[in-house]
Amino acid sequence: MKKLVSGFLAFSMLFFYVPTLGAAEPVKISHQKVTCIPGEAQAKLLCDVTLSTFIDYVRVYFHSNAYKDDYFVEMRHGAGNRFFAFLPWADTAVTKGVTYRIVVKAGDGTESSTEQFNVPVSGDCPVSLSDVDKGDASNLVVGLTTSAQPLVPQGFLCKGIVSLITANGVMKSHEECRKVLVAGLAGIPTVVYVGAGAAAAAGEGLIISNNAGGGGEAVCSCPYPAARSATHD
């Protein structure tokens, strides 16, 4: 009888313990808030992400304090647990501050976030980018969080933006920024192109190739994340 009871208890302990074996460890996002956003360069953001399972994405969600809707840029994986990203050039005529947060989505769908950071834009903000950094920063992919927002990030410049991720997760060449830059060189008012871009985004009317990826459309899983539990430094 004792053997039967002992066997039953051992089986019960295993039965109740097994579900925890597959439980994902909490995401730890270590990030030192930047003290300022440069007015004459691009901000570089760094973080370390500790996670034992697959990471779906690491993103920086940001917006000019002159507007409310977030845009995002994907953070790139560097050495070890390090991730990095560059923000677009701030339009200092309208953007005096930038709000951002870093969001990580694990393979099991769990999302974690740092707190939101509100950082001033300053012409005296020190920044040092290597030649490799400058190359990465001049090939930005910017994502939308709503289908109605302008394609060109409000409060930022088109300089360096080459691709766009729509609100439903389709990555395309950023034709609107290309038009804005060409129009600027030709002395044509750019507001016409920005307005047309917003209308095209609402109707998903852009049929263009992806310059950054090398041909065709690329579809990614890019929903707007609702930040959940987070651990951060």
Q: pLDDT of 78-106, one tens digit each?
A: 999 999 999 999 999 999 999 999 999 98
| Bridge partners, 97 (sequence order) | 120
| In-domain check, residue 16 | no
Q: Is the dihedral of CA 65, 67, 68, 74 positive or negative?
A: negative
Confidence band of 59 (pLDDT split at 50, 70, 90) = very high
* Res 24: pLDDT: 55
| In-domain check, residue 63 | yes
| In-domain check, residue 171 | yes
Q: Is 27 exposed, middle or buried (0-12, 13-18, 19+ CB in 10 A)?
A: buried
Q: What are phi and psi of 12, to 5 degrees?
A: -65, -45
Q: Are 150 and 197 in contact (CB under 8 A)?
A: yes
For residue 8, what is the enclosing H or E element?
A: helix 2-21
Considering the chain, what percentage of its residues have pLDDT values greater than 90?
Answer: 58
User: What CATH number is associated with residue 187?
Assistant: 2.60.40.10
* Res 54: pLDDT: 85
Q: How high does pLDDT run on average in the chain?
A: 77
- Domain of residue 216: give its range: 22-225
| In-domain check, residue 104 | yes
Q: What is the DSSP letter of 74?
A: E
| In-domain check, residue 15 | no
pLDDT in tens, 190-199: 444 444 444 4
| In-domain check, residue 94 | yes
pLDDT in tens, 194-215: 444 444 443 333 222 223 333 3
Q: What is the DSSP letter of 35?
A: S
* Res 26: pLDDT: 67
Q: Which residue has the higher pLDDT, 225 or 112?
A: 112
Cα Dmax for the chain? 93
Q: CA 49 to CA 33: how far, in whole Å?
A: 15
What is the rounded radius of gyration, in angstroms, for the C-alpha atoms of the chain?
A: 22
pLDDT in tens, 142-157: 999 999 999 999 999 9
| In-domain check, residue 37 | yes
Query: At residue 60, does pLDDT exceed 50?
Result: yes
| In-domain check, residue 168 | yes
How big is the chain, counted in residues?
Answer: 233
Count of domains observed in the chain: 1
Q: Are 60 and 75 in contact (CB under 8 A)?
A: yes
* Res 27: pLDDT: 82
Confidence band of 53 (pLDDT split at 50, 70, 90) = confident
pLDDT in tens, 156-179: 999 999 999 999 999 999 999 998
Q: What are phi and psi of 16, to 5 degrees?
A: -80, -15
